[in-house]
């Protein structure tokens, strides 16, 4: 293993999409940002230099950060932001992980343009557990707003209403031709007939779960969230913000051009959304004038397509890559996730109330000192450890809204002993609108052991849990009006954020944190902070 050095200059860059230009926040002037390459067990040092007017922090989404929470990146959770003119070196070792992940800004809505791929290759000489592809291609899915995204969310927070949806989706930074800007090109994926390619799909969109499809070609899914799964074939991939999926695609035609489409799964946040981003798979022998074979993306809210994909996911669970699912559970947690309302006398557009979101009826309030610093240096008054293990009001999903949607505010964490095991059932409340919540846990991978519609039944549902080969992930979609159950081992000391990866829901408060105590052993404590850790 070796040490890899990267320099991320956070700079403004004037960028044109949809036939209009605006300055955006970028890393090294690029959208999407540069790919970070490493190998399993490498140490990575990224110097982030903030040359913009915003506070900045970068998160290495899915990297476990064993004992190095200081490098995790969520602003005010594990670090104070890097202020304009300042810099910070994220220093972490990639332990026992290989595959595709993503990095992204973890403050404000900067993630909309500040994101990129992380590619972790297996240790030297260790092959993939599937045939080595001819070539690997990173495919980043995202969104594009014509207006400034900070203005979009600030406007929404003032009014109390939902923010505007984006103006387009993008594939590797490009929406493809759309009716109001037909001249704009899309991303092209050149292929040779007979060869197999691995696409490293990443959903970096702020607010949209996406379907991904290639006309005329089957996709073989081999990995999700940088963990191997049992390969299966599908023509459509479902991918939520924060998730990554590796697929193999064999160029089994002789010639031609084939449409690649990324389209929204649901109406999100609470608005109609029909936009599809397009790219082209282009056989090398094909004339550029020849027509493109089209494909119909699944219709919006195609739950059957989504469920089929999700239910096909199984851990590889081989001798070399065993699924170590916790069987004995120390903490049995039940969290409701959903939207609600708070009183807001100044919100004229919201009739004196504003949209909020919560977990167990707690709308998380961001602290002004980073939680990890408060924890490490014993600074009191920053957070409380009374995050409820169950919702204060027993939740019963009936399909219609309860009388009381009010939430309480707090900076509450849930405390876990080192190496204790956790089962967490995430129950969607689906009260205000159909919502699918892709929930991301920092610092851990977890096993997705069960999933269902309606109310979770703690007596009968566990009987059908998959404890043998459940998929291992870091981000999981909680289905609309349903639940998902995850299990993990709290073997990483520190403070770990958990939140909905739809940025609008995070902003509204659908977030909390776990505090994992130090263990007693020599390698079971949080390391001390680096000397350049940003000050608040």
Kindly state the smallest distance separating residue 137's Cβ from ligand C2O, in Å. Answer: 22
Residue 387 or 497: the one with the smaller Cβ distance to ligand C2O is 497
In sequence order, the 6+-apart residues with CB closer than 8 A to the CB of 354 are: 157, 159, 160, 161, 341, 342, 344, 347
Q: Contact letters (x/-) for ligand C2O, 400-439, by CB under 6 A?
A: ----------------------------------------
Kindly state the smallest distance separating residue 335's Cβ from ligand C2O, in Å. Answer: 16
Closest C-alpha to 111, from 157, 73, 63: 73
Residues 242, 247, 253, 255: is their CA dihedral positive or negative? positive
Kindly state whether residue 442 participates in binding ligand C2O, applying the rule CB under 6 A.
yes
Kindly state the smallest distance separating residue 138's Cβ from ligand C2O, in Å. Answer: 17
Kindly state the smallest distance separating residue 469's Cβ from ligand C2O, in Å. Answer: 25
Residue 442 or 505: the one with the smaller Cβ distance to ligand C2O is 442
Q: Contact letters (x/-) for ligand C2O, 10-49, by CB under 6 A?
A: ----------------------------------------
Q: Which token pair is 38?
A: 């490493």
Residue 42 or 503: the one with the smaller Cβ distance to ligand C2O is 503
Residue 106 or 174: the one with the smaller Cβ distance to ligand C2O is 106
Closest C-alpha to 101, from 40, 144, 143, 149: 40
Please tell me what DSSP assigns to residue 309: H
Kindly state the smallest distance separating residue 513's Cβ from ligand C2O, in Å. Answer: 10
Tell me the residue nearest to ligand C2O as measured from the CB.
61
Q: Which token pair is 228?
A: 């191997």
Kindly state whether residue 59 participates in binding ligand C2O, applying the rule CB under 6 A.
yes
Kindly state the smallest distance separating residue 74's Cβ from ligand C2O, in Å. Answer: 5
3-state helix, strand, coil split of the chain in percent (to 5) is 10, 40, 50
Residue 76 or 447: the one with the smaller Cβ distance to ligand C2O is 76
Residues 486-525 that bind ligand C2O (CB under 6 A): 497, 499, 501
Residue 223 or 469: the one with the smaller Cβ distance to ligand C2O is 223
Closest C-alpha to 185, from 170, 205, 164: 170
Residues 57, 489, 247, 503: is their CA dihedral positive or negative? negative
Residues 227, 178: Cα–Cα separation, whole Å: 35
Q: Contact letters (x/-) for ligand C2O, 170-209, by CB under 6 A?
A: ----------------------------------------
In sequence order, the 6+-apart residues with CB closer than 8 A to the CB of 83 are: 50, 55, 534
Residue 59 or 375: the one with the smaller Cβ distance to ligand C2O is 59
Biggest CA pair distance of the chain: 67
Q: Which of 169, 440, 487, 505 binds ligand C2O (CB under 6 A)?
A: 440
Strands 511-516 and 413-416: parallel
Instruction: Please give the angle made by the CA atoms of 207, 359 and 165, to the nearest 5 degrees.
Output: 15
Kindly state the smallest distance separating residue 75's Cβ from ligand C2O, in Å. Answer: 10
Strands 196-203 and 135-144: parallel
Kindly state whether residue 242 participates in binding ligand C2O, applying the rule CB under 6 A.
yes
Give the three-state DSSP class for 149: helix
| 467-to-268, 332, 354, 471, 519 alpha-carbon distances in Å | 33, 16, 41, 10, 26
Kindly state the smallest distance separating residue 60's Cβ from ligand C2O, in Å. Answer: 9
Instruction: Please give the angle made by the CA atoms of 334, 314 and 465, to the nearest 5 degrees.
Output: 35
Kindly state the smallest distance separating residue 184's Cβ from ligand C2O, in Å. Answer: 28
Kindly state the smallest distance separating residue 132's Cβ from ligand C2O, in Å. Answer: 29
Kindly state the smallest distance separating residue 61's Cβ from ligand C2O, in Å. Answer: 4
Residue 171 or 502: the one with the smaller Cβ distance to ligand C2O is 502
Kindly state the smallest distance separating residue 514's Cβ from ligand C2O, in Å. Answer: 13
| 101-to-204, 233, 247 alpha-carbon distances in Å | 10, 22, 14
Residues 518, 514: Cα–Cα separation, whole Å: 13
Kindly state whether residue 104 participates in binding ligand C2O, applying the rule CB under 6 A.
yes
- CB count within 10 Å of CB 386 equals 11
Residue 169 or 440: the one with the smaller Cβ distance to ligand C2O is 440
Residue 133 or 443: the one with the smaller Cβ distance to ligand C2O is 443
Kindly state whether residue 74 participates in binding ligand C2O, applying the rule CB under 6 A.
yes
Residues 323, 467: Cα–Cα separation, whole Å: 9
Residue 242 or 493: the one with the smaller Cβ distance to ligand C2O is 242
Residues 144, 176: Cα–Cα separation, whole Å: 12
Per residue, what are the HEC states of 174-189?
Answer: ECCCECCECCCCCCEE
Kindly state the smallest distance separating residue 365's Cβ from ligand C2O, in Å. Answer: 16
Q: Which of 106, 174, 437, 451 binds ligand C2O (CB under 6 A)?
A: 106
Residue 74 or 264: the one with the smaller Cβ distance to ligand C2O is 74
CB 189 within 8 A of CB 243: no
Residue 202 or 431: the one with the smaller Cβ distance to ligand C2O is 202
Residues in the site for ligand C2O, rule: CB under 6 A? 59, 61, 74, 104, 106, 242, 440, 442, 497, 499, 501
């Amino acid at each position: 293993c070796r040490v890899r050095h990267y320099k991320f200059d956070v700079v403004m860059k004037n960028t044109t999409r949809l036939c209009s230009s605006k300055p955006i926040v970028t890393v090294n002037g690029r959208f999407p940002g540069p790919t970070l390459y490493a190998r399993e067990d490498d140490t990575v040092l990224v110097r982030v230099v903030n040359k913009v007017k915003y506070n900045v922090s970068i998160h290495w989404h899915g990297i476990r950060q064993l004992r190095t929470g200081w490098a995790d990146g969520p602003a005010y959770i594990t670090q104070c932001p890097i202020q304009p003119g300042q810099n910070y070196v994220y220093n972490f070792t990639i332990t026992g992980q290989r595959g595709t992940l993503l990095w992204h800004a973890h403050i404000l809505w900067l993630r909309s343009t500040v994101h990129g791929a992380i590619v972790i290759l297996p240790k030297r000489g260790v092959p993939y557990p599937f045939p080595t592809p001819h070539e690997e291609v990173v495919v980043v899915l995202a969104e594009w707003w014509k207006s400034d995204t900070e203005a979009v969310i600030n406007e929404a927070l003032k009014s109390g209403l939902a923010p505007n949806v984006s103006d387009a989706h993008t594939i590797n930074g490009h929406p493809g031709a759309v009716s109001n800007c037909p001249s704009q090109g899309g991303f092209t994926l050149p292929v040779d007939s007979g060869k197999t390619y691995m696409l490293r799909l990443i959903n970096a969109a702020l607010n949209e779960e996406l379907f991904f499809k290639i006309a005329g070609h089957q996709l073989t899914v081999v990995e999700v969230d940088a963990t191997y799964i049992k390969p299966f074939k599908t023509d459509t991939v479902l991918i939520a913000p924060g998730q990554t999926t590796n697929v193999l695609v064999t160029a089994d035609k002789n010639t031609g051009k084939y449409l690649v489409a990324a389209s929204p799964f649901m109406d999100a946040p609470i608005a109609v959304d029909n936009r599809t981003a397009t790219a082209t798979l282009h056989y090398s022998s094909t004339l550029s004038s020849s027509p493109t074979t089209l494909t119909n993306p699944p219709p919006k809210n195609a739950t059957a397509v989504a469920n089929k994909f999700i239910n096909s996911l199984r851990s590889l669970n081989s001798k070399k890559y065993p699924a170590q699912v916790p069987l004995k559970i120390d903490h049995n947690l039940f969290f409701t996730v959903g939207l609600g309302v708070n009183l807001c006398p100044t919100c004229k557009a919201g009739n004196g109330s504003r949209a909020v979101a919560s977990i167990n009826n707690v709308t998380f309030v961001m602290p002004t000192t980073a939680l990890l610093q408060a924890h490490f240096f014993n600074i009191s008054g920053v957070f409380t450890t009374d995050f409820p293990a169950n919702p204060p009001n027993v939740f019963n999903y009936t399909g219609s809204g309860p009388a009381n949607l009010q939430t309480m505010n707090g900076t509450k964490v849930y405390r876990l002993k080192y190496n204790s095991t956790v089962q967490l059932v995430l129950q969607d409340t689906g009260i205000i609108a159909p919502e699918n919540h892709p929930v991301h846990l920092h610092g851990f991978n977890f096993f997705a052991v069960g999933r269902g519609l309606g109310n979770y039944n703690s007596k009968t549902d566990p009987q059908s849990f998959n404890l043998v080969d459940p998929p291992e992930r870091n981000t999981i979609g909680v289905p609309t009006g349903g639940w998902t159950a995850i299990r993990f081992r709290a073997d990483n000391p520190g403070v770990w954020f958990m939140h909905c990866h739809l940025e609008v829901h995070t902003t509204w408060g659908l977030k909390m944190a776990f505090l994992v105590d130090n263990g007693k052993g020599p390698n079971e404590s949080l390391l001390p902070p680096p000397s350049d850790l940003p000050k608040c």
